[in-house]
């Protein structure tokens, strides 16, 4: 049958019944293939296809089934959520192979990380029933009275961030209340001689400490530097200035310190106020500190000049000392250790492509195009890191030495744990350039996820992306629902869904509104 012919036939049936007809579904989940003529389960909702199809009518999905956000919500998010609900409801994460709950010690005994992390994704994807059940769980069961150490950073970005977004999107008071309650529990972490918070906090006793492995008892840049957006909003929503004061103090401490070559080391001692080991990274341990400088400026409606200056100065130093081009022409961001470069780039570092592009607008006028170009180059390098694997999913870290480019060489760097950063960069690059290759690359990731990570009981990470068979790690990370799937959905949606003029995404992809100065937020922005 001619494609148009089939499309028309499906349109007619689809419009008539309001549902896809079994036998016509274009996607076969088990086989991970896209075949318009293959039988499927036919559970896609017609309205969604009508609403989002690029051609404008239902048949658009068949003729142009790529890049459809409905696929991400109806096939992917639903599968991830339904299985979490079935096998791990109320626990932090799902083990999709063993079909049971998984709890990382990052959250102490706080439970429900997947529920709180997924709230806004469910809302944005219009999964109303699921959002309702998640909200009911938060109302009845989300409990912070635990006697255990939690990671201040992880709890902030996932729980506080998730609750704040859920509140701003839905207006439901319970989320505001819970976010403020949790924010208050985190405040004792700042009781250090400098006010630089501890990494870990017992939220019952209020006693804090640092990771035993962190250079000389230091706090971590990416951890204490990734509280700003949420804490400013906590002050905004509670009327209590203490949250914003705490994070503004971190800024002051950092501004007083000398920086080696203008770079920020990853370790800072909260007692002495001195840098620890001079290790600089735009990936793990450093990453979201830079992200939050830029986003603090954007979230303040571009009034937080301090954050702006810190961001562009930092990018300048990163360009001079860390960014390099391989002989094969790939731009990458190396790690800096006391002046020596390690020519390795982490999957986490790939978020920086989106960051550079997002910040291009505010860069000194002769640099705007350059920052976009830098974002595009990082996106290309990270895409190569995916493309050069068997599974077309990127490794945890890839190297540019020993005769390789954008390839993991060490066994313990070959895994993929459903991380979002590369897709995040595609989403920013798409919105800011509309170059169709970013949607194509995003769709490649969808196909690879469906083929290799989708299992009966949800989605699982992979231990080695360079071999032929899947060795699953049996964890469905909560950030797969909050970030990876949300960024895919946004990548294939119109730009007016959570437009950048009004929203910034926290580092866990939870959207927070820009505090527009015309709306009486002048004070917040200047605190
Ligand atoms: C997320 O929890 C956040 O994006 C964080 O900033 C870094 N890594 C994970 C996902 O990879």
Q: How far is the CA of 466 from the centre of ligand 1 (A)?
A: 23
At residue 72, the 3 state secondary structure works out as: helix
- Tens of pLDDT, residues 227-262: 999 999 999 999 999 999 999 999 999 999 999 999
Q: Tell me how far apart the 2 most distant CA atoms of the chain are, in Å.
A: 74
Residues with CB under 6 A from ligand 1: 288, 348, 419-420, 479, 483, 507-508
pTM of the model: 0.89
**Minimal CA–CA distance to 23: which of 3, 43, 8, 4?**
43
CB 160 within 8 A of CB 203: no
CA pair distance 458, 228, nearest whole angstrom: 33
- Ligand 1 closest atom vs CA 284: 7
- Ligand 1 closest atom vs CA 226: 6
The structural architecture, per CATH, of the domain 74-513 is Alpha/alpha barrel (1.50)
Catalytic residue list contains 519: no
If one residue of 226, 508, 510 were mutated to test the ligand 1 pocket, choosing by the most ligand atoms within 8 A of its CB, it would be 508
**Tokens read off for 314:** 């930092």
pLDDT at 7 over 70: no
- Ligand 1 closest atom vs CA 419: 11
Q: Where along the chain do its domains lie?
A: 74-513
pLDDT of residue 399: 98
Banded pLDDT at 522 (limits 50, 70, 90): low
- Tens of pLDDT, residues 113-172: 999 999 999 999 999 999 999 999 999 999 999 999 999 999 999 999 999 999 999 999
Q: Provide mean pLDDT across the span 455-484.
A: 98
The DSSP H or E segment spanning 231 is helix 228-238
Residue 507 marked as a ligand binder: yes
Which protein residue has the closest C-alpha to ligand 1 atom 6? 507
pLDDT of residue 66: 66
Q: Provide mean pLDDT across the span 75-104.
A: 97
Q: Provide mean pLDDT across the span 72-90.
A: 97
The residues pairing with 325 across neighbouring beta strands, listed in sequence order, are 331
DSSP 56: S
Range from 55-64, 67-76, 312-321, 510-519 that averages highest in pLDDT = 312-321
Q: How far is the CA of 33 from the centre of ligand 1 (A)?
A: 29
Q: Which of 130, 304, 377, 396 is catalytic?
A: 396
pLDDT of residue 519: 84
Q: Provide mean pLDDT across the span 433-452.
A: 96
Catalytic residue list contains 421: yes
pLDDT at 466 over 60: yes
CB 209 within 8 A of CB 276: no
Banded pLDDT at 376 (limits 50, 70, 90): very high
Catalytic residue list contains 82: no
CA 57 vs CA 62, 191, 492: distances in Å: 10, 58, 16
Q: Provide mean pLDDT across the span 438-449.
A: 96
Catalytic residue list contains 172: no
- Tens of pLDDT, residues 178-222: 999 999 999 999 999 999 999 999 999 999 999 999 999 999 999
pLDDT at 527 over 60: no
pLDDT at 523 over 70: no
């Amino acid at each position: 049958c001619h494609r148009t012919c089939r499309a028309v036939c499906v349109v007619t049936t689809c419009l008539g019944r309001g549902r896809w007809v079994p036998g016509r579904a274009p996607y076969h989940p088990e086989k991970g293939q896209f075949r318009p003529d293959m039988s499927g389960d036919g559970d896609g909702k017609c309205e969604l296809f009508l609403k989002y199809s690029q051609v404008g009518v239902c048949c658009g999905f068949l003729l142009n089934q790529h890049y459809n956000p409905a696929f991400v919500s109806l096939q992917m998010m639903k599968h991830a959520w339904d299985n979490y609900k079935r096998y791990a409801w109320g626990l932090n994460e799902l083990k999709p192979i063993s079909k049971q709950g998984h709890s990382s010690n990052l959250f102490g005994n706080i439970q429900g990380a997947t529920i709180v992390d997924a709230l806004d994704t469910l809302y944005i994807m219009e999964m109303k029933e699921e959002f309702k059940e998640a909200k009911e769980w938060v109302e009845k069961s989300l409990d912070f009275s635990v006697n255990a150490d939690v990671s201040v950073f992880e709890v902030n970005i996932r729980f506080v961030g998730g609750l704040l977004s859920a509140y701003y999107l839905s207006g439901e008071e319970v989320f505001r209340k819970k976010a403020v309650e949790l924010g208050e529990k985190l405040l004792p972490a700042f009781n250090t001689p400098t006010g630089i918070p501890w990494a870990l906090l017992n939220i019952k006793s209020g006693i804090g400490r640092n990771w035993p492995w962190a250079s000389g008892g230091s706090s971590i840049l990416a951890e204490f530097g990734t509280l700003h957006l949420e804490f400013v909003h906590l002050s905004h929503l509670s009327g209590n200035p203490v949250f914003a004061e705490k994070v503004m103090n971190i800024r002051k401490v950092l501004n007083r310190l000398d920086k080696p070559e203008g770079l920020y080391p990853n370790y800072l001692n909260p007692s002495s106020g001195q840098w620890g080991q001079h290790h600089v990274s735009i990936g793990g341990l450093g990453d979201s500190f830079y992200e939050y400088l830029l986003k603090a400026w954007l979230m303040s409606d571009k009034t937080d000049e301090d954050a702006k200056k810190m961001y562009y100065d930092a990018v300048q130093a990163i360009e001079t000392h860390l960014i390099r081009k391989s002989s094969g022409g790939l731009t990458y961001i190396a790690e800096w250790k006391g002046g020596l470069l390690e020519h390795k780039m982490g999957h986490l570092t790939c978020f920086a492509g989106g960051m550079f592009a997002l910040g291009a607008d505010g860069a000194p006028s002769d640099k705007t195009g350059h920052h976009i170009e830098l974002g595009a180059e990082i996106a290309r390098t990270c895409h190569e890191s995916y493309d050069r694997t068997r599974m077309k999913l990127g490794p945890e870290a890839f190297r540019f030495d020993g005769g390789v480019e954008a390839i993991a060489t060490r066994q313990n760097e070959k895994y993929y744990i459903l991380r979002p950063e590369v897709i995040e960069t595609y989403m920013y690059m798409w919105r800011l350039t509309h170059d169709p290759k970013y949607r194509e690359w995003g769709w490649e990731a969808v196909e690879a996820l469906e083929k290799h990570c989708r299992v009966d009981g949800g989605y699982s990470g992979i231990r080695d992306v360079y071999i032929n068979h899947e060795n699953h790690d049996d964890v469905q990370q909560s950030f797969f629902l909050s970030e990876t799937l949300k960024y895919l959905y946004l990548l294939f949606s119109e730009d007016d869904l959570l437009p950048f003029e009004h929203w910034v995404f926290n580092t866990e992809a939870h959207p927070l509104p820009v505090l527009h100065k015309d709306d009486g937020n002048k004070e917040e922005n200047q605190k």
